């Protein structure tokens, strides 16, 4: 039903706070916690340490693995390391090269990484990939992006997590288009709770996620009234999640940015009917 995303903390204080964050988010009974990974291996140590913290707490941990900027051998070593560590789920991504870092590596697209994971580890991992209901910002058209996504699934991915969005229609249309193309895997909705408008606007510009105009205007209006801004944002994001739950979205993945409160503030508004939750290949669903 729910999954939670962290990034690897950059400081010791951040790692100390993470344990408290995990403890408070456990109330949501997440199916798994995923941990991001910097392109070219830039966060390799931190990602690994965060995964170990989760595993030590007996929680299901899913490392992200991005392929640009890494050699095939580096990726194989990491995949085999995670396998030896008992990890069963990977989030396989292309990643974004930091500007000035010109080396794509041997896996150019996430689909290449998915194929590599299957080639060296068979069906050991449940592979999640990224999906873009509002189109990936570098795609030449929504149609080509959809076809590239379908190719990524056919390369061996089991399910996907979307880029965050605030317009539920984009998600449901994306699901319809996949169904029309014969693709019926679980597509978990990626949800970004809102804690800081300036940061959200910056992220959204970079990743192509749309903040609807009416939301932007209201969020800007609360500029120096953080409390009211957060209350408004929690209600709006909760209403989006409720719509997704009521319409049987495959699951909700919270981008927490390592802050528990914004996610918990959304969660407390949700009317969740846990009747008859089923488990389909490791993916819970709202029914
Ligand atoms: P791809 O699926 O490879 O697609 C990238 C672009 O290439 C798209 O425009 C697609 O249409 C196009 N494309 C794909 N295949 C082909 C082809 N064969 N020919 C031509 N064009 C093609 N980034 C990180 O660095 N670390 C993370 O931990 C991380 N976690 C993420 C988690 C989620 C759930 C999401 C949604 C994103 C995450 N990202 C992360 C960001 C992601 O790496 C970027 O969005 C990146 O720009 C694209 O990654 P992808 O895996 O979607 O790439």
Taking residue 219's Cβ as centre, other Cβ atoms within 10 Å add up to 21
- Chain segment 207-226, per-residue pLDDT in tens: 999 999 999 999 999 988 99
pLDDT at 209: 96
Distance from Cα 72 to the centre of ligand 1, integer Å: 17
Distance from Cα 137 to the centre of ligand 1, integer Å: 10
Q: Is 243 exposed, middle or buried (0-12, 13-18, 19+ CB in 10 A)?
A: middle
Share of the chain above pLDDT 90, in %: 87
70 or 281, higher pLDDT: 70
Residue 250: strand, helix, or coil: coil
DSSP code of residue 105: B
Distance from Cα 128 to the centre of ligand 1, integer Å: 12
| Banded model confidence at residue 271, pLDDT cuts 50, 70, 90 | confident
Share of the chain above pLDDT 70, in %: 93
Contact 155 CB / ligand 1 (< 6 Å):
no
How far apart (Å, rounded) are the C-alpha atoms in residues 266 and 263?
Answer: 5
Contact 104 CB / ligand 1 (< 6 Å):
no
Average pLDDT of every residue of the chain: 93
- Chain segment 149-207, per-residue pLDDT in tens: 999 999 999 999 999 999 999 999 999 999 999 999 999 999 999 999 999 999 999 99
Contact 163 CB / ligand 1 (< 6 Å):
yes
pLDDT exceeds cutoff 70 at 277 = no
pLDDT at 272: 81
Residue 227 annotated to the active site: no
Q: Quick one: how far is CA 208 from the chain centroid? A: 15
Arithmetic mean of pLDDT, 9-20: 96
Residue 66, token pair as written in the block: 């991005």
pLDDT exceeds cutoff 70 at 276 = no
Q: Which residues contact 39 (CB under 8 A, 6 or more apart)?
A: 66, 68, 69, 70, 95, 96, 97, 98, 101
pLDDT at 100: 65
| Banded model confidence at residue 102, pLDDT cuts 50, 70, 90 | low
- State the helix-helix crossing angle for 12-25 and 44-56, rounded to 10 degrees: 40
Contact 136 CB / ligand 1 (< 6 Å):
yes
Q: Quick one: how far is CA 210 from the chain centroid? A: 17
Q: Which residues contact 75 (CB under 8 A, 6 or more apart)?
A: 65, 67, 107, 113, 116
Residue among 189, 188, 117 nearest 156 (CA): 117
Mind listing the domains of the chain with CATH numbers? Answer: 2-276 (3.20.20.220)
Ligand 1 atom with the smallest distance to the CA of 93 is 51
- Chain segment 239-269, per-residue pLDDT in tens: 999 999 999 999 999 999 999 999 999 999 9
């Amino acid at each position: 039903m729910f999954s939670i995303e962290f990034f690897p903390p950059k400081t010791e204080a951040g790692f100390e706070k993470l344990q408290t964050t995990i403890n408070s988010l456990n109330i949501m009974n997440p199916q798994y916690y995923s941990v991001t990974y910097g392109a070219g291996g830039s966060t390799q140590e931190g990602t690994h340490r965060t995964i170990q913290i989760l595993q030590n707490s007996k929680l299901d941990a899913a490392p992200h693995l991005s392929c640009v900027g890494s050699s095939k051998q580096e990726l194989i070593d990491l995949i085999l390391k995670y396998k030896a560590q008992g990890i069963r789920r990977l989030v396989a991504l292309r990643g974004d090269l930091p500007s000035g870092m010109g080396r794509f590596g041997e896996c150019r697209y996430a689909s290449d990484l998915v194929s590599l994971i299957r080639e060296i580890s068979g069906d050991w991992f449940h592979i999640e990939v990224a999906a873009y209901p509002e189109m990936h910002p570098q795609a030449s058209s929504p149609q080509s992006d959809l076809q590239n996504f379908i190719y990524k699934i056919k390369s061996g991915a089991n399910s996907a997590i979307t880029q965050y969005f605030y317009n539920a229609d984009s998600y449901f249309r994306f699901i319809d288009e996949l169904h029309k193309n014969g693709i019926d895997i679980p597509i978990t909705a990626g949800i970004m709770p809102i804690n800081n408008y300036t940061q959200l606007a910056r992220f959204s510009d970079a990743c192509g996620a749309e903040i609807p105009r009416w939301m932007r205007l209201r969020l800007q209006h609360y500029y120096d009234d953080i409390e009211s801004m957060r209350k408004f944002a929690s209600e709006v994001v909760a209403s989006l999640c409720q719509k997704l739950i009521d319409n049987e979205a495959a699951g909700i993945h919270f981008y927490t940015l390592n802050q528990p409160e914004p996610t918990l503030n959304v969660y407390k508004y949700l009317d969740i009917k846990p009747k008859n939750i089923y488990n389909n290949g490791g993916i819970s669903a709202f029914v």
